[in-house]
Amino acid sequence: MTQQMLADRLRRSKSWVDKVERGVRALDRYSVIQELAHVLRVDPEVLLGQQRPTPAGTPDGVDDIRAALA
């Protein structure tokens, strides 16, 4: 995706996108991070450099499905 395409989807200027990419302008509001994440189709945590914790063990229902298939 080009800077212009991203800017259009965010309803911002190409200059704004360029400054964010170069680190000249900070993303200081969570609402803007959420909007950017929505446009990029990622979780906001990805943009913040945080990872979601992975659940330990087997997810609910998987054992029942395995038993039914066996």
Residue 38 DSSP label: H
Q: Are 30 and 44 in contact (CB under 8 A)?
A: yes
Q: How far apart are CA 69 and CA 16, in angstroms?
A: 53
Cα torsion angle, 16, 20, 21, 27, sign: negative
Q: Which of 1-15, 27-41, 47-61 is the least confident region? A: 47-61
pLDDT tens by residue, 15-52: 999 999 999 999 889 999 999 999 999 999 988 888 66
